[in-house]
Every structure is written in C-alpha cells, then in structure tokens.
Amino acid sequence: MTSSMAASHSVGKVAKDVIFGASAACREAVSKYGSEKVTNATIGAIMDDNGHLACIPIVEKVLRTLPINDLISYAPISGVPEYLDMTTALTFGDHRPDGYTAAVATAGGTGGIHHTIWNYTEMGDSVLTSNWFWGTYNMLCHEAGRKLVTYPLFDEKLHFNINAFSAKVDELIAKQDSLLIIINAPAHNPTGYSLSESEWSDVLAVCRKHAKIPGKKITIMVDIAYIDFAGEKNETRKFMQQFSNLPDNILTIFTFSMSKGYTVYGQRCGSMIGLSSSKEVITEFANINKYTSRATWSNVNHGAMALLVAINKDKTLQKQFEIERDALYQMIRRRGAIFMEEAQECGLKALPYKAGFFLSIPAKNATAVCDKMHDDLIFAVPLKAGVRIAVCSVPINKMHGIAKKVLNTLNTI
C-alpha cells in the first residue's frame, strides 16, 4: 500500500511549529481567564502596550494612499531599481564599506537567506551558525539539501565564543571548498546579543586566515532583520565598515528585511545586498540571484517596494518615519531593561540581551519549564537550550515579575 506520494527527499517533512503550539495554549488561557491576566511572550511581532499589533503610523498612511498601479503591476524580477538603491543605502547608513555592491529584491529576509544557501554552498555542504539560532535556518538548509551545524555562541564569560567559532570554521573548511557562515546580528534572535566591534574584527580575522587557502570560498551572511531595533542608526552599522576590501574569495551578503523595520511582516519584502572587492563576483551575484528569484517566486511585492521608496525619497516623511519607529524601539528597550534588571536582582541567569525582539534564558528542559510557567499564565517559547521571551510582544505593565517567576519555575523543575 502506498502511504506516501512524496518524492524521497520530501518524505517526512513536517514544519514543527512550537510557537504555534505555545500561542494556541495562550489563546485558550485568554478565553478562560481574560487577556488582562495572561502574558503572551510568544509573538515575534511588536504589540503595543495595549496588546495590539503595532503599525508605524506613517507606514499605514503611505500604504493606503499608494497608486493602484504600484500595488497590482508586476515589478522587475530583480526589484524596483530605486528600491534596490535605497535598501543598499539604508543597510549601510554612514558606514558603507569599500567594495562593489549589488542588491536583489527578496521575499522578506527569508528569501535572501534562501537564495544565499542555494547559490553559495554545494549540495550536501554544512552551513555554519551559532547554537542559539532562528529555527528557520535549519529548515532552509534542509530544504535545499544542506546541513546546519553550530558552534556555541557564548564562552564562559558570556562573550562571543571566538575560539569555538574558529575551531568550527577550521573543521569545515578542511572538508569543503565553500563555506557559508550565517551571523544574525545586531539584536540576535533568540538571545538579543550584538557582537562588539572587536568581536566582528575577530570573526573577520578568522575568515581572512582561511581565505588564504587556495581554492576556498567563504560567504558571510549577516542577517540584519532586527538592526532597526538595536540602537542608534549609525552606531549599529559601524561594524559594516570592517567588511571593506576583503579578499575576493570572501563574499559578504547582508539580508535586509522590511518585516520588522517597517512593521509589514505579511507584505513579504526584503533585499539581499552583496559586497565584494571583485566586480565580477558582484555581477555574478546580481545575475544568479535574479535567476533564482525568477525560478522561485518570480517578482516580489511591488506595493511594499513602492512603500519603502515613497517613505524614503521624501526627507520629511523619512524623518517622521524614523521618529515613529524609534518610539517602538524605545518601548521594546524599556521592556527588555525591566526584565534584565529584575533578572539581575533575583539572580536569574539570562543570556546577555543587548537589544531586539527576544531574550533567552538557558534551561535544560525548556518545554517543561514553559509548561510549568502556564500556571502563572505566562506563555513563552521553548527552544532546545532554553526559554525565549518575546519582549516585543509583552506590554510594559506585564514585564514586571516575569524574571522572578521564570527563576521560581526553574528551581521547581
């Protein structure tokens, strides 16, 4: 009897959605006890302090007034040229590294990650990221016939674990000619960590060392999905300058996303920006990623690209937009600060949260911890190595006391 019609490489694929499970339990609690009593720390989107999905006001205003043709017509496969120029400029701010660049529009940041894995690693290769990582990286690698391997993100002092990173790069580069390294920073999901200038410099030193081996190709993908909630615009982009003039067998790709930065998650719009000291590598980048777009989704959301262009070409609108987005950043920052201060006071060992949507607490049996926290009507996401709290989604009045409750729960498990 045939029990599966799937091709051999697709047998057994099930997208395990732990976030969905946690939010289903949360919805049930809300219907039983009322939303006032329940803390939903599962959602990866900004909820305002009244518990509503936040939209940057100028984004809503501009989106609703875009000409219909901008919304319904096909966009160029590579993306609207003005959009590509603007996403490049927005990615680098005042810290544009020296080198050639090109941009290709993508379906969210996810689309850029997809293209990077497909076009810059060989079938069966291992892709490297840290042990705390966004679960979708694993699915994206698996779907493309690649493996995701990890190094411990933190050393014993809770700094970036450069020795572990270096050892893993050594090991992989000995086995394969192409190596893709994914680093999600600043404001990493799920820990909220941001590498310091000197940690970035150490990472690049390791890459430079291995790039000296003839025949090796290293791609560093910097996932900047949360960069606009990581601090002052140019301060958070300073590290990018360090990517200037790398050898031509190191390619850097920054994956830009409108999802968080413009609060338009469902509009599915992003941009991948390639940077290299070789003009040929960048011409190839534009060509092969455009090809993969055509062969994957064709063109991306024209309206979202028009939205970004409309906001950023008008300096007054742009200023207003930045002020409004900054208000959301400050809101998240205050929430994170409450948790981290209380964690320190009560002795809860949270990971070093610097900024962003999420923070994490290491835990051996995270599922049991999260289940037990349901008794306190707190809903968080269990990860392999700990519990993720979405500070982006918890109103400020509900942030107080969570750290202590997490600690108490950890002590009872």
Binding stretches for ligand PLP (CB under 6 A): 44, 108-110, 134, 184, 189, 223, 225, 257, 259, 265, 270
Cβ 265 to ligand PLP shortest distance, Å: 5
Cβ 209 to ligand PLP shortest distance, Å: 27
According to DSSP, the residues that pair with 361 across neighbouring strands are 387
Cβ 189 to ligand PLP shortest distance, Å: 4
According to DSSP, the residues that pair with 251 across neighbouring strands are 219
Cβ 133 to ligand PLP shortest distance, Å: 8
Cβ 183 to ligand PLP shortest distance, Å: 10
- The token duo for 73 is 């017509």
Q: Which is nearer to ligand PLP, 264 or 406 (CB)?
A: 264
Q: Determine the 3-state secondary structure of 323 from DSSP.
A: helix
The answer to whether residues 95 and 234 touch, using CB atoms and an 8 Å cutoff, is yes
The answer to whether residues 366 and 386 touch, using CB atoms and an 8 Å cutoff, is yes
Cβ 310 to ligand PLP shortest distance, Å: 20
Q: Which is nearer to ligand PLP, 191 or 277 (CB)?
A: 191
- The token duo for 278 is 């070789």
Q: Which is nearer to ligand PLP, 254 or 379 (CB)?
A: 254
Cβ 332 to ligand PLP shortest distance, Å: 14
Cβ 324 to ligand PLP shortest distance, Å: 20
Q: Which is nearer to ligand PLP, 102 or 221 (CB)?
A: 221
Q: Determine the 3-state secondary structure of 300 from DSSP.
A: coil
Q: Which is nearer to ligand PLP, 127 or 348 (CB)?
A: 127
Q: How far apart are CA 297 and CA 295, in angstroms?
A: 6
- CA torsion 161-163-167-172 (nearest 10°) is 40
Cβ 22 to ligand PLP shortest distance, Å: 15
Q: Which is nearer to ligand PLP, 44 or 97 (CB)?
A: 44
Helix (H) or strand (E) holding 387: strand 386-390
Helix (H) or strand (E) holding 359: strand 358-362
- The token duo for 75 is 């966009």
Question: What φ, ψ does residue 124 adopt, rounded to 5°?
Answer: 85, -10
Q: DSSP of 86-151, one letter per residue?
A: HHHHHHHTT-PPSSEEEEEEESHHHHHHHHHHHHHS-TT-EEEEESS--THHHHHHHHTT-EEEEE
Q: Determine the 3-state secondary structure of 53 from DSSP.
A: strand
Output the residue with the shortest Cβ distance to ligand PLP. 108
Q: Give the type of residue at 49.
A: D
Q: Which is nearer to ligand PLP, 99 or 190 (CB)?
A: 190
Question: What φ, ψ does residue 199 adopt, rounded to 5°?
Answer: -65, -40
- The token duo for 117 is 């894995």
Q: Where are the beta strands (DSSP E) in 202-317?
A: 217-223, 250-257, 270-276
Q: Which is nearer to ligand PLP, 101 or 129 (CB)?
A: 129
Q: Which is nearer to ligand PLP, 263 or 277 (CB)?
A: 263
